[in-house]
Amino acid sequence: MNIGIYCDSGINGGHEEMLKRFMLALVTSGNIETLHILVSKSNAPLHRYVSELARHHAKVRVVSLSYTAESIRGDLFALFRAIRTTAATLRTLHLSKLLIAQGTIVSALAGLLAARYAHVRTISYLPLVDDGPANNGTTEKVKWLAKRVLYRMPDEYVTLNDHLRGKLRALAPNARTMILENYVDDRFSRSMLTKSAARAQLGLPDDGTTIIAHIGRINFKQKRQDFLLESIERHPEAFKRAIVLIVGEGADSARLAAMVDASPTLTACVRIVGPKSDVLPYIVASDTLVLPSAFEGVPLVMIEAVLAERPIVMSHICGLESYLPDALLFPAGDHDAFVERIFTARNVPMTGLTNDFRRRFSREVFDAQAQNVMLSTTPSRGAFDPASPKHSDLLAK
């Protein structure tokens, strides 16, 4: 088979990290003759990774894109140019299928429309699915109608769990939908690093101080670091013997720093760490991790934390109850419940959950399923799919 992968994201985040692992799984498949990877040259870390992959595997071909999704957003002329040039490229590749890495249905729009224009069968790799318009305004309704059209364009979908799969089936009933859950490196569950050693390595106190970590892209709309800061300011007494580490970078980094600098309460306990290539020491050093997101797919940091036997407190959203017990979930937007969960999370038994995650999120399971979703026979749109994961599968619920 002649397979293509398209990613025009300018971000090198969690979804892009899983895409890299998807690439590795496909490279090892004897059924794939050539793997064409279309990636933006402006995304230096991802482009460098793909170039290295091509250097070590003869079947990999790199196609450099001159744009990112972010660079053409809101510019119709740039979007049309990207669609036209990408469609022309796709016609020369003679692909069996094209996997398009879409964070949301409006991500990688140029690739989706170019594939449609070039008559290439598409698989959308989609971790986030819309719920519908946020309000009854005309603008929101028009946007939602446009999204409904876009959801009908991919021939197939790969998403992360049964909750998202159900939403996709409602929005795109004629498209085949498949589940591919993430996997995390074994070192998170096999590390010999102790909490005391990790704290010493990071210069953190090991005197009973509670260490809380938020690890993720600094993006208030999704990751809600601002909600975390608001919660601390509402409950200053609870955080008097705590240090809150915020690890990451993103569009709201400057706003985050300004909020901390403006508040004596926050300055006393919050440390903005910045981006780190290795987050394992921060996870191991922590008593509790937090992720009060407004929306999520299946965040890697959740899996990493549980594999390291550290509790992570998350918003009760997007079907996350299929991964975490109620004691680690709080109603989104409830500051009081969030803080209460943070300081009781250390009492939640983790051994059974960790063992389940080790089985569920192994690389062996991921690789087998990744190859299956790309190589399985293609049914007609809307046909019954006997290869779909059943309830008892490790990769589905």
Six-digit token string for 299: 């965040």
Annotation: CATH topology of 187-357: Rossmann fold (3.40.50)
Domain chopping of the chain, boundaries: 2-183+362-375, 187-357
Place of tokens 């090198």: 12
Residues 6+ apart with CB under 8 A from 284: 191, 193, 194, 195, 198, 308, 310
Q: What is the CATH number of domain 2-183+362-375?
A: 3.40.50.2000
pLDDT at site 131: 84
pLDDT at site 318: 85
pLDDT at site 194: 96
Per-residue pLDDT of the chain (397 residues; tens, 9 = 90+): 999 999 999 998 889 999 999 999 999 998 999 999 999 999 999 999 999 999 999 999 999 999 999 999 999 999 999 999 999 999 999 999 999 999 999 999 999 999 999 999 999 999 999 887 777 788 888 999 999 999 999 999 999 999 999 999 999 999 999 999 888 887 888 899 999 999 999 999 999 999 999 999 999 999 999 999 999 999 999 999 999 999 999 999 999 999 999 999 999 999 999 999 999 999 999 999 999 999 998 899 999 999 999 999 999 998 899 999 999 999 999 999 999 999 999 999 999 999 999 988 988 889 988 988 887 655 444 333 433 443 333 333 3
Same fold, 2-183+362-375 and 187-357: yes
Q: Three-class SS string for the chain?
A: CEEEEEECCCCCCHHHHHHHHHHHHHHCCCCCCEEEEEEECCCHHHHHHHHHHHHHCCCEEEEEECCCHHHHCCCHHHHHHHHHHHHHHHHHHCCCEEEEECCCCCCCHHHHHHHHHCCCCEEEECCCCCCCCCCCCHHHHHHHHHHHHHHCCCCEEEECCHHHHHHHHHHCCCCEEEECCCCCCCHHHHCCCCHHHHHHHHCCCCCCCEEEEEECCCCCCCCCHHHHHHHHHHCHHHHCCEEEEEECCCCCHHHHHHHHHCCHHHHHHEEEEECCCCCHHHHHHCCEEEECCCCCCCCHHHHHHHHCCCCEEEECCCCHHHCCCHHHEECCCCHHHHHHHHHHHHHCCCHHHHHHHHHHCCHHHHHHHHHHHHHCCCCCCCCCCCCCCCCCCCCCC
pLDDT at site 190: 87
Provide the 10 A C-beta neighbour count for residue 384. 8
